[in-house]
Structure 1
């Protein structure tokens, strides 16, 4: 008797997972007319992001790539596997490339992530400020940055460090909020003119 294969998510059934929850293997090949993440076994729509968000995300990534040190590498909106029912896409991640096969890699294991960055945009405030950082902290990701938009449209960065005892983030002791310039030693030394992220 052959073992029954688990049901796969399709454009017709993605909203109704079997037994109430999908696994990553069931949804990884799913093609929908919108971007999505898997949260606790449910497919959650990722909303459209404004130009400001994408510009800050992409320019930050390029500057981090220029400053990074081995064995860390970065990516934009790379899926991160928290577990087989939760796969999320931080705006930027830096992760340890050792022992990863880049020819077969689908999602970065959360245990490999050293920095996750979320750029807050309308429609994702709750996830970016609460749900995603709590997932990253529970996965022991040591550093998390949350980027907000000021009234004059400049980005400012909240820098968080992992408290290993509570598995939650605390504001970075010396510079919890960076305005005008982001200067930090973690996960590697970097200095970024935040105004340059939105200048034309």
Structure 2
């Protein structure tokens, strides 16, 4: 069901998407009993993740923070302002904080994002493998990592680089898939022991 209303969404009306979709300003102050993101003007519920997912995400954040070089900053579960109707929340982002006012911004501008990391869960496969790579590549985010858990409970990180001409991602030439250990120089040199990320 849609509605033509153009006011702010409330806890009673958020599910009735206007014909033109919600904007971030209309929904940003909602207090809903679940985590969500804005996708093409619709409020989309984010799934409850399993323990391993949160563990891997947090360990990747810690590894990136330990290895980072200036000017980069690393944050988890922060919305990215792609446009006023798309504010996805990647698992991890690496971004350039220069010229950003942390007391005022609500989402990191997509033009400041250097790397997006998504840890794939059963309910996010289509988004993490198709929709989000397309969204971030079209908006010139240079690097995208997709972290997968295989049937043997081993991690693999698929590393993608942006083709600036086609605005699409292609597998990193020398290391498209990292198993056991992730070693890359972009957006800055980092080594991550993937087996250790699951060492509960």
TM-score range, shorter chain: over 0.9
- Gaps of at least 5 residues in structure 1 are none
Give the Cα–Cα distance (whole angstroms) in 2 for the partners of residues 132 and 21 of structure 1.
Answer: 19
1:41 alignment partner in structure 2: 41
Residue 32 of structure 1 deviates from its aligned partner by 0.8
- Tell me the alpha carbon deviations over residues 100-135 of structure 1, each in whole angstroms, 9 at most, x when there is no partner: 001112100000000000000011110011101111
Q: Could you tell me how far apart the structure 2 residues matched to 1:110 and 1:130 are?
A: 18
**Cα separation, 1, equivalents of 2:24 and 2:173:** 37
Asked if structure 2 preserves the Cα contact closer than 8 Å seen for 1:7 and 1:18, the reply is no
Paired residues, what number?
A: 196
Per the alignment, residue 152 of structure 2 pairs with 152
Shift >6 Å, 4+ stretches: none
1:20-99 to 2 correspondences below 5 Å: 20-99=20-99
Alignment match, 2:184: 184
Structure 1 stretch 18-27 or stretch 107-116: which is displaced more? 18-27
Secondary structure of residue in 2 paired with 1:162: strand
Q: TM-score scaled by structure 2?
A: 0.96
SS at match of 1:86: coil
Q: Which residue of 2 aligns with 1:130?
A: 130
Deviation, 1:150, is: 1.7
Kindly state the Cα deviation for residue 17 of structure 1 after the two structures are TM-superposed: 2.4
**In structure 1, distance between residues paired with 2:126 and 2:18:** 27
- 2:12 alignment counterpart: 12
CA deviation string 1:63-109 (max 9, x = no partner): 10110111110100110011000000000000000000011121000
2:194 equivalent to 1:198:
no
